[in-house]
Amino acid sequence: RNDIGPENDTAKITEWMHQAFAEKRKLMGFGHRVYKNGDHRAPILHGLGRKAAEARGPEFVKLFELGETVQQIMEDEKKIYPNVDFPCGMTYFTMGIPVPQYTPIFVASRITGWCAHIMEQHANNRLIRPRAAYVGPETRSWNA
């Protein structure tokens, strides 16, 4: 993230990516142990990030497009797709959120779910298993 700035272009990004590949560096924001063909949440957040970039102006659109170049290279050359963290970081950046705040925002967005799991584990006196079968109602209605 610190290597990519407005003075960069697609050629520099491509060179940077190939150097990372040659050094066998792991690029954060790509790959998911469950969603092998891409995280279904990523395109949704990607679209929101693009809108945020457009709202901030041409400089942010250019930076966002450089991120899209990184994504395209990963998909084309490594067949590795972005997880939700990649467009999330791009979106935070285009919103003007400082990089040191990314992790606290991530934690804040997850803490309610973590607390719910802990409460459920205490209530049932057993650990929740990720592949547990859902036993609730098949359908529920809701108002938009």
**Whether 122 is catalytic:** no
**Whether 85 is catalytic:** yes
**How confident is the model over 49-81, as pLDDT tens digits?**
999 999 999 999 998 999 999 999 999 999 999
Non-local CB neighbours of 75 within 8 Å, separated by 6+ positions: 81
Residue of 9, 85, 117, 122 marked active site: 85
**How confident is the model over 4-35, as pLDDT tens digits?**
555 668 888 899 899 999 999 999 899 988 88
**How confident is the model over 82-140, as pLDDT tens digits?**
999 999 999 998 888 999 999 999 899 889 888 988 888 888 887 766 676 778 888 87
Tell me the pTM.
0.71
**How confident is the model over 98-109, as pLDDT tens digits?**
999 999 998 998
Residue 144 has pLDDT above 70, yes or no: no
Instruction: Please give the distance of CA 138 from its chain centroid, rounded to a whole number.
Output: 30
Domain 10-97 is classified in which CATH homologous superfamily? Answer: Cytochrome P450-Terp, domain 2 (1.10.230.10)
Structure tokens at 96: 């003007």
pLDDT of residue 44: 93
Residue of 18, 32, 40, 46 marked active site: 32
The domain spans of the chain are: 10-97, 99-128
Q: Which of 71, 72, 82, 74 is nearest to 32 (CA)?
A: 82
